[in-house]
A and B are shown apart, each in its own frame.
Chain A
Amino acid sequence: MVDVATLAVNSVIISALYALVAIGFTLIFGVGGVLNLSHGATITLGAFAAYYASGGIVEAGVGGAVLAAIVVPALFSAVVYKGLIERIQDQPIMVMILTLVVAIAVEQVFLVAEGTQPKSIPSLLDGTVALGGSKFQTNLLVVFALSWLIIAALFYTINNTETGKAILATSMTTKGAALVGIESDRVNLYTWVVAGALAGVAGLFLGSFQTANFAMGRGPLMLSFAIVVIGGIGSVKGSLVGAYVIGTAEVLTGAVSTRLTGLVPLLLLILVLLVKPEGLFGRELAE
C-alpha cells in the first residue's frame, strides 16, 4: 500500500505548502526581530475568507476565493502591524503576548460565528492525476505548483526590486539599513502585508484539502516554529529547507503511524535546539 514513490511525491507537495506557511513567519522575525504568534490565526483567516467568498456569504467561485484569501489576511496583517505592533516593535516580549492575544481573539470570533463544525472549501481543481503509479488529487498538484510559483516570485522580488532589497537589507542589519536611508517602519509594514498574504494563501490551500475550522491555525504555527529553528531563525532559504525536512519527516512518520505526526516537528525542534541552536543555515535570504 505504501510505496516509496507515493511517499516521495506527498513529501514534496506538503513541504511546499509548509514552506509557504513558514516563510512569512521567518520574514517578520528577520526584518523586525519579533515573533508573530498571530501567524496561525492569519492562516485561519485566509481559509475562512475563502470559505465566505465561495458560497459561505457570496458566490464568487474559486477565483473569488483565492482573491479573498490573499486580500483579507494581508489587510488584517497590515492593521495588526499599524494598530498594535508598530508602537511596541522594540518590545519583543510584548509583541509576542499581544499577537498571541490577537490569535485567541480571532479564534474566538470564528468559534462564536461558525461553531466547531469544520467548513469545506472548494478544491482549486477537481479530479485526480496518475503519477508514479498512484493517483493524486489534482488539487494537491495545483497547490504544489502555486506554492512554488509564489515562493519563486518572492525570491525574485527580494533580490531584484527596490522594496525587496530594502527588506533584505533590513533583515541583515537594521542599523545599517537605517544608515543608508531605508525607512524601517515602511519595510516592516511591507513585510507584515506579504506575510499576511502568504499565510492567507496557505490557509486556503490547507482548507482546500482538509477543512477550515477555528483552531486550524494552531498546528501551522507550531510547524513554523520548528521550520524556522531548523532553518536558522530569520533565514528564508533556511525556511525552505526546514519545510522540506519537516514535511518529509511528517509524511514518513504518517506512513508508520498517523497518530505520531503532530509530535514529530516539535521533537525535531527540541532536538535541533539542543544540538545546533543556530539552525542549519545562515541569515542570508537568497542567493
Chain B
Amino acid sequence: MSADATATRGLTGWLDPRRYGIRHQVGAVGLVLLAFAPYLVPTVWVRNLTIALFFAMFAMSWDVVSGYTGQISFGHAFFFAIGGYSSALLNLELGLPPVVTVPIAVVVTVVAGLLVGVPALRLRGPYFSLVTLVAPTILLNVFILFSGTFGGELGLDSPAPILSFDDLVVTLVANYYLAFALFVGILAVLLAVTRSDAGAVFTAIREDEDAVAASGLNPAKFKVFAFALSAAVGGLAGAVFVHTPVGNPNPSQLLALTVSIEVIIAAILGGMGTIVGAAVAGIFLRLFQLYLGTVEYVVPVLDTAVADVDLLLFSLVTLVLLFALPGGIVRWAVHGGGTALDNIRGRDAATDGGRDPPDRDVLDAVQERWREDVADLQARVGGGRR
C-alpha cells in the first residue's frame, strides 16, 4: 500500500517544483494514512471513510471543470446520477456484471455530459448556472415520470456488488480499498491533466478567455474537453459507488440538490482549481457530516438529539465556514493543524512566472467574469427606454 504513496510522491515530485517538497511529503503521509486507515479506525468508520472517498471523487470531478475553467456548474449530481443509474440498470435489467456495466456507464455519462455541455457552454455566467441548476431537476422529473424503470423518488434496488464476501467486515474493508484505489487513480489522472499544458489552458480560460482565443487556441474545445473529463470521472465514481455496500442508486444519494451543492462547497473550501484541495476538503466535510449523524447528545432547549438535526447543523456550520473563511479553510487548517494540502498548480515557471494565485483569487476571477457577463447582458438586452 505504501507503494501507492511512493508512486504518488514520485509523480508529484516529477510534476512540481522542488520548493513544495514539504507539502508533498505531507500529502504522501496523508495517502499512507488512508492506505492503512482500516487498521486504525473502528469498523463503522471504515464505512464512513469509504463514503467520504467517493464524495471526494465527486468534488474532484467538479473542480476539474469548474475550478479550472471557471464555468461554475451547480448541477454536477447530474453526472453522478447518470453514471450510477446507467450501471445499476444495465446490471439489474440485463444481468451484465459490474466489470462491463461500469465502463459503459462512463461512456453514457460522457455522452450525456456532451449533450448538455456543448450547448450549455455557449451560455454566459448566470445562464450557465441556471441551466446546470435545472439539469438534475429535469433528470429527477424524468425518473419520477418513468418510475417503473427508474424507481421514482425511492430509486432502484441495489445492483450486484463488485466485491462481496461472507464476512461483513472483510467486505467493508475490501470495498474501502476499492474506493481508495479508485480515489488514488482519479487523483493521479486529474493531477496529471491539470498540470499539463491542457491544464494551463483551462486556467487561462478562467483568467481571460479572449486572450486564449487570441493566441490561436479554441477555448470552446478545451471547455468541452474539461467537461467531458469531468463527466467521465463523476460518472465513474457514481457507477462504482452503487456497486458498493455504501451506495445505492437513489436520488437522495446521487441526484439531490444537496449533493451538487456540497460538492461545490468542498471544492471551494479546499481551494478551487487545486484538485487536491477538493479531495481533502471533500473527505473532511463528508466525515464531519457523518459524524454529526452519530451524535446522540440532546440539545437542552430544543429537546432534539443532534443526530436528528444533523443536516440543519451541517448547513449552519458550512454557512459560517464559507462566510468566515471563504476559499481559505484548508490553507488555514494547514497552518493550524497540519492537514495535508497540496495547493499548487505545478506548472513550469515559464508559463506564468511560477506565481500561484491564492484560492481567493481563483474565485474572484470567476466572479469577476460573471459580473462582466451580467453587465454585458444588461447592455445587450437593455434595448429598453432611455
Contacts and interface: CB of A to CB of B under 8 A. Distances in A.
A210 interface: no
A122 interface: no
A90 B367 contact: yes
A287 B67 CA distance: 42
A207 interface: no
Contacts of A260: 145
A249 interface: no
Interface string A270-287: 100110011101111000
B287 to A, nearest CB: 19
Interface in B325-382: 326, 363-364, 366-367, 370-371, 374-375, 377-378, 380-382
B127 A101 contact: no
Contacts of B367: 90-94
Given A270-B131, A283-B378, A277 B312 contact: no
Nearest to B131: A273
B382 A97 contact: no
B126 A112 contact: no
Given A105-B319, A222-B134, A282-B383, A94 B363 contact: yes
Contact of A100 (B261, B363, B378, B381): B261
A244 interface: no
Contact of A96 (B74, B374, B380): B74
B268 A282 contact: no
Given A105-B319, A108-B311, A263-B145, A284 B134 contact: no
A274 B116 CA distance: 11
A172 B384 contact: yes
A243 interface: no
Interface stretch (A13-21, A195-203, A227-235): A227-235
Interface stretch (B95-103, B135-143, B230-238): B135-143
B384 A101 contact: no
Interface string A97-123: 110111011001100100000000000
Contacts of B383: 282
Interface in A9-43: 29, 33, 35, 37
A97 B268 contact: yes
A108 B382 contact: no
A225 interface: yes
Contacts of A218: 257
Contacts of B385: 284
Given A108-B312, A273-B127, A97 B363 contact: no
Number of chain A interface residues as a range:
35 or more
A252 interface: no
Nearest to A238: B381
Interface in A79-93: 84, 88, 90-93
A267 interface: yes
Secondary structure of the B side of the interface? helix
A105 B318 CA distance: 10
Contact of B382 (A33, A98, A172, A270): A172
Contacts of B141: 262-263, 266
Nearest to A219: B137
B210 interface: no
A92 B384 contact: no
B264 A97 contact: yes
B371 A97 contact: no
Interface in B130-169: 130-131, 133-134, 137-138, 141-142, 144-145
Contact of B312 (A105, A226, A278): A105
B153 to A, nearest CB: 11
Interface-central residue, B364, B366, B371, B381, by most chain A CB under 10 Å = B381
A263 B142 contact: yes
Nearest to A262: B141
A88 to B, nearest CB: 8
Interface string A187-227: 00000000000000000000000000000001000100110
Nearest to B116: A270
Nearest to B70: A93
B126 A35 contact: yes
Contact of A94 (B131, B318, B326): B326
Given A225-B130, A263-B142, 7 more contacts: A84-B319, A90-B371, A108-B311, A112-B309, A262-B144, A270-B134, A282-B381
20 contacts: A33-B371, A33-B374, A84-B323, A88-B326, A90-B371, A92-B367, A92-B371, A98-B319, A101-B265, A101-B318, A104-B258, A172-B382, A233-B377, A266-B138, A267-B138, A273-B131, A277-B124, A277-B127, A283-B381, A284-B384
- Closest 7 pairs (CB-CB, A-B): A284-B384, A108-B312, A282-B384, A105-B315, A283-B382, A282-B383, A33-B374
Interface of B: 72, 74, 119, 123-127, 129-131, 133-134, 137-138, 141-142, 144-145, 257-258, 261, 264-265, 268, 304, 308-309, 311-312, 315-316, 318-319, 322-323, 326, 363-364, 366-367, 370-371, 374-375, 377-378, 380-385
